[in-house]
Structure 1
């Protein structure tokens, strides 16, 4: 009882279940029509609707499994269940097409006649009405839930209507000819026409089967969707604050879209502002695309361009460019940086050439930018004894002493931490001035890129 309630409470599975019941009813009616007429076209349609039972059953199971939320074992959801269901369904359709095609060829060779029947026409007309309503219900659910499986079924059953109408038209023509003179329909090639209509049905749902198979395999292989990629690009570009859109990876898994996109934002934005723009992009994509898992990566557009350009500076005098800052003012952009020059005895005239090269590179990106460069001599090897000596000279003037000193190299930058103990009665402003003086004296000997932190604590041993 609980299982039935679960099926009925989910709109996608509920529609799929009603579609399955409709397939059973239509198949029964087509079998009755075939028994009354012995028409191969009707038999082909009966076989087709019988396959619809298998396909719809698979769709029902696949949609039910695919609707489950992500869990520990399936963090990306269960959407591929719908693709697997579509793959099996397409195989059934293609196999059935081969069987009906064989039967059609045999019927043409043996010229087995069939007799149109009024009851068969009425039965198939009822089946057409059921298929029309079923297709509409599936289409509504597919649009609401963005389900590719249900959407495919809706078009599939709508096309069935056209086939059923052609079979009914064939039987009406045959019935009118038989009323004019018994046997006239078969004399005029009724059997051949019947077999050709069956062939047309076979060709149609074989094509449908191949399309479903291709779509299912594409989803299982995580093939990127060009249509979805272009759509995501347009949506992301429309969000305020997005400067550029790149590196889009988009694919569909069942009714869920999996999307990864990188957006470029203005360099002067803070983390909170950039994060807000990324959230807006995610919301816009989910709103327009439907159920989806969206990941947005944010990159400062201008900073990335400048860093990439500066990485190609060819002047051998330049060792390192760091502390890059990009600021906006009313007069334009300001780009500031620290530049480490090779060799402490390098001439300012040589350094000026390197600075001009950097300025020219930056102004190719920002034509009117102001470029401010702070020159630094080549870095020296850090000697903790020198650090302690410098710090002790400063601390001794204020009645303090130096504690632990730590030097850690992180990606080419020396992080220096100095622990200083100062008199307990010293106020915060004075302690800050001592720490700043120590950092300034160290900077005179050791050039950047270094990061110096002086921590001050009260000297409890002095009590």
Structure 2
């Protein structure tokens, strides 16, 4: 396995431990907020598994059946993960409403608080490791995974704070209210993640800042060509696909034009190291025509 796969597998191991811990303590204490957190962490575990599988598949080179590579596997996994978050949110709200209608006292609240804090610390450390690798590899699946782990940190701390209030005040209705707030939060965050994961499946263009950066690189060579047009970009997993038409002076030799294209491609790839660039060269006569 490569470095990205190893780190994805680390998140699988850490999530498995945290889920088991929260689930046992949630059932032991009867806290719907802790059980909700266990459900949330279970989806984080599933997301980690999806990320682990997808980064291994997307990292495969292009082949006969997949000439553009396997990058979109990561976008598919990121979209699936967000849908899972929505399912979890609905499930959590249902359980919390039931608990509001049929309140029960929480057993061993101090133990529940301790478990939430331990889970938050573990996921914070692992999320930092995963995020660093996600940025290095420009992996949407790993970014999604890091995001899931970080939301688990926030929600665990929120549940811990709420359980402390229950412990101090004796207001047991706070437990399901915290669970509902948690569900709404993760569903809102899922929408943000979906906006990043899903558009590449429809070949949406890169964002404006990225396109401007690419165009600025191309225009550094504007003295060597006459114009560019039909500029297009798209993303598939960690890969960017860039193509444009470039009109060049008719007197330029094939060797000169080829060298120009190589230099432009190298400069773009220095900023976008997983980019695939296609330059369609047109002679000056076509521009005049």
Q: Same fold (TM over 0.5)?
A: yes
Partner residue of 1:185? 170
Of 187, 201, 206 in structure 2, the residue corresponding to residue 225 of structure 1 is 206
Q: CA deviation at 1:59?
A: 1.3
Partner residue of 1:272? 255
Instruction: For residue 170 of structure 2, give the secondary structure of its aligned residue in structure 1.
Output: helix
Q: CA deviation at 1:172?
A: 2.4
What stretches of structure 2 of length at least 5 have no aligned partner?
Answer: none
Of 107, 111, 114 in structure 2, the residue corresponding to residue 119 of structure 1 is 111
CA contact (8 A) 1:30 1:45 kept: yes
Distance 2:198 2:120 in 1: 31
CA contact (8 A) 1:83 1:253 kept: yes
Q: Does 1:207 align with 2:188?
A: yes
Distance 2:220 2:149 in 1: 37
CA contact (8 A) 1:15 1:137 kept: yes
Distance 1:284 1:116 in 2: 61
CA contact (8 A) 1:247 1:262 kept: yes
Distance 1:155 1:216 in 2: 12
Greater relative contact order (Cα < 8 A, sep 6+): 2
Instruction: For residue 225 of structure 1, give the secondary structure of its aligned residue in structure 2.
Output: coil
Distance 1:118 1:108 in 2: 21
CA deviation string 1:191-223 (max 9, x = no partner): 1x2222211221122233334444443222212
Distance 1:240 1:18 in 2: 47
CA contact (8 A) 1:90 1:210 kept: yes
CA RMSD of aligned residues (A): 2.2
Q: CA deviation at 1:53?
A: 1.4
Q: Does 1:154 align with 2:137?
A: no
Instruction: For residue 112 of structure 1, give the secondary structure of its aligned residue in structure 2.
Output: coil
Equivalent positions of 1:5-20 (< 5 A) are 7=1, 10-20=2-12
Cα–Cα, structure 1 residues 235 and 160, in superposed 2: closer, same or farther, change >3 Å? Answer: farther
Of 65, 78, 84 in structure 2, the residue corresponding to residue 73 of structure 1 is 65
CA contact (8 A) 2:151 2:186 kept: no
Distance 2:85 2:151 in 1: 14
Instruction: Name the structure where helix makes up a greater proportion of residues.
Output: 2
Distance 1:102 1:35 in 2: 17
Q: Does 1:85 align with 2:77?
A: yes
Distance 1:204 1:248 in 2: 39
CA contact (8 A) 1:62 1:82 kept: yes
Partner residue of 1:247? 230
Distance 1:251 1:265 in 2: 25
Partner residue of 1:138? 130
Of 88, 95, 99 in structure 1, the residue corresponding to residue 87 of structure 2 is 95
CA contact (8 A) 2:124 2:150 kept: yes
Instruction: Name the structure where strand makes up a greater proportion of residues.
Output: 1
Q: Does 1:281 align with 2:264?
A: yes
CA contact (8 A) 1:36 1:120 kept: no
TM-score, scaled to structure 2: 0.90
Distance 2:255 2:27 in 1: 72
Instruction: For residue 60 of structure 2, give the secondary structure of its aligned residue in structure 1.
Output: coil
Q: CA deviation at 1:47?
A: 0.3
CA contact (8 A) 1:116 1:171 kept: no
Distance 1:152 1:242 in 2: 42
CA contact (8 A) 1:248 1:260 kept: yes
Equivalent positions of 1:345-360 (< 5 A) are none
CA deviation string 1:29-83 (max 9, x = no partner): 2113313432222111110001111111111111111110001111110111112
CA contact (8 A) 1:34 1:43 kept: yes
CA contact (8 A) 2:74 2:139 kept: no
TM-score, scaled to structure 1: 0.58
Q: CA deviation at 1:136?
A: 1.1
Cα–Cα, structure 1 residues 148 and 245, in superposed 2: closer, same or farther, change >3 Å? Answer: farther
Distance 1:198 1:290 in 2: 42
Q: How many residues are matched?
A: 287
What stretches of structure 1 of length at least 5 have no aligned partner?
Answer: 1-6, 178-183, 309-463
Q: CA deviation at 1:241?
A: 4.3
Distance 1:216 1:277 in 2: 34
